[in-house]
Structure 1
């Protein structure tokens, strides 16, 4: 039997460990099925699994045809993650799918994760979150009423937009401990201040190169110089909302400039790209962008900025491979 560890380690996918060298171009921050917790019980929401499969299969085949190899789903535990569906999609389309454990921000947690006997309720301690997330890597992801399935490939968590709360901090620390114990990386979306939120997970002894910081293409982050500062601290800079060019986000042209500036500063090995698209959304707003948008629409902007084919290869293939390899 072939040793999957023989060629530089493995990546945890929903179909099991895959040699890291085989995952190809990666979209590192996407959602396949996003379901607001409880939406499945609403009178006006229909969960048609066959229909959802057909929609997602078409989008994944399009991604594959654009040159994509792997989709990372960062929805975590309670926002629609459907491991059995993802297994079937991966087999049908040939696209590797890396699923995540984790949760957040505080407002999206159920009362189960708070201690109601206190006033005000206090969050679970970080160690309980660490055990929960770590179990989904070491023992497999939990599927309701079914045994555990494949191992999660990363831990994903989000801070409250107005600023990290005590519950968010417990989540971030638990995510960092789980990642450190299991060898998978952490993907965080910062709240109000990227460097502060990164410092929380690094305080748990997690190496900076095991952390992805998303949301760094927000206008406030760019104005504060956060992309360059996060790269200087050794973490990955996720330009993860490509295709969104209104509201609090910069334009794709401005994103291409940010990427070029990072490359010029010597941080080409710390850049990751994605669209944060939602394949199917139930109970909340969608983000109906092709998963291949980075490959078809954004890469030409990078080449126009003077990035070489080698630069693009590093950002789309080499960097996510290094990140997702279990260590």
Structure 2
């Protein structure tokens, strides 16, 4: 069977993915963000429609196990808006969960991941949906015991299925430690690893060293006052493209709270990627580079 993008409506040929928001959230719930839950189906639909109207075609939701990912709602949203949606299995940092959930799931993580990749993710309703990637997370400037355990389970699930592993890097740090573990000791092919939040640490040397591994590099969460601003992010992307690593760069919106949606909050939301960032990327680096970042690269990064 040829590689496919595993969407919530089934396998999709990579060349049909289209312009892709490579890291975002339609639904997300965490004890770290009380009162800021993304759990409104109507708002999620409105955000997807706004993204489609701005030229978007696909969204990869990185909300993993236990974070209110609403797997039950995703198929109808995909059908209703004409948007390809990819769901995630995996596990976030320990701080996002209560102790009871972790005690229940940690001893059988690899089994959970494989089941959700090959059978079904269950949301808050009855309808199941199959996941298309494994989301895990590092710690600040390194890897704690939770991260190592979770990444080891993710590698086991990857070897059993071929699914890509997407990594949350706390404030963009610990990237080389993650590569040493996943691609070194755990023998995950670098092309199956997506390194997230690199915009939060605009270190061009670190980005270049990570790119040499062959992994994909995701810049996400634009226009956040407490992160590197858009102009700095574009500098980092340009440095990678001009250094010959343009085939490994991804962009995403990483909308994690209702206030960050374009349709009912302060934004910038999903449409910002295609309405603002893509034209700026075209102006800076040309249409070929923009096509790679928004279309060709995600078609390869999420295919398995």
- SS of residue matched to 2:26: strand
Q: Do residues 303 (structure 1) and 282 (structure 2) align?
A: yes
Question: Which of 110, 131, 134 pairs up with 1:130?
Answer: 110
Q: Which residue of 2 aligns with 1:84?
A: 72
Within 5 A, what are the aligned runs for 1:217-232? 217-218=199-200, 221-223=201-203, 225-232=205-212
Superposition TM-score, scaled by structure 1 size: 0.83
**Cα distance in 2, alignment partners of residues 242 and 114 from structure 1:** 31
1:190 CA drift (Å): 2.0
Q: Do residues 30 (structure 1) and 24 (structure 2) align?
A: yes
Cα 1:162–1:24 change in 2 (3 A) is: same
**Cα distance in 1, alignment partners of residues 203 and 281 from structure 2:** 20
Cα 1:62–1:201 change in 2 (3 A) is: same
Q: Which residue of 1 aligns with 2:190?
A: 208
Which has the greater radius of gyration? 1
**Cα distance in 2, alignment partners of residues 80 and 313 from structure 1:** 32
Question: Which of 176, 182, 185 pairs up with 2:161?
Answer: 182
Query: Is the contact made by 1:190 and 1:215 (CA closer than 8 Å) also made in structure 2?
Result: yes
1:165 CA drift (Å): 1.1
Question: Which of 38, 47, 58 pairs up with 1:59?
Answer: 47
1:150 CA drift (Å): 2.2
Cα 1:198–1:45 change in 2 (3 A) is: closer
Query: Is the contact made by 1:106 and 1:159 (CA closer than 8 Å) also made in structure 2?
Result: no
More helix by share: 2
After superposing on structure 2, the runs of 4+ consecutive aligned residues of structure 1 that deviate more than 6 Å are 44-47
Q: Which residue of 2 aligns with 1:265?
A: 243
Query: Is the contact made by 1:187 and 1:211 (CA closer than 8 Å) also made in structure 2?
Result: yes
Q: Which residue of 1 aligns with 2:180?
A: 199
1:183 CA drift (Å): 1.5
- SS of residue matched to 2:76: helix
CA RMSD of aligned residues (A): 2.7
Aligned length: 297
Question: Which of 141, 153, 173 pairs up with 2:121?
Answer: 141
- SS of residue matched to 2:21: strand
Superposition TM-score, scaled by structure 2 size: 0.89
1:323 CA drift (Å): 1.0
